[in-house]
Amino acid sequence: MKISGQVALVTGGASGLGRATAERLHADGCSVVLIDLPSSEGKAVASQLGARAVFAPCDVTSEEDVAAALDRAQELGDLRVVVNCAGIANGIRVVGRNGPFPLDDFTRVVSVNLIGTFNVIRLAAERMSTVEIVDGERGVIVNTASVAAFDGQVGQAAYSASKAALLGLTYTAAKELAGYNIRVNALLPGYMQTEMGMAAKKAMERAKEESITGALSNPKEVAGFIAYLIKTDYITGQLFSLDSRII
Q: Which active-site residues does the annotation give? A: 159
58: CB partners within 8 A, 6+ apart? 11, 35, 36, 37, 65, 66, 68, 69
The burial of 153, by beta-carbon neighbours within 10 Å (0-12 exposed, 13-18 middle, 19 or more buried), is given as: buried
Judge contact between 85 and 12, C-beta under 8 A: yes
For 202, list phi and psi in degrees, rounded to 5: -65, -40
For 7-166, list the strands marked E by DSSP. 7-11, 31-36, 53-57, 79-84, 95-96, 99-100, 139-144
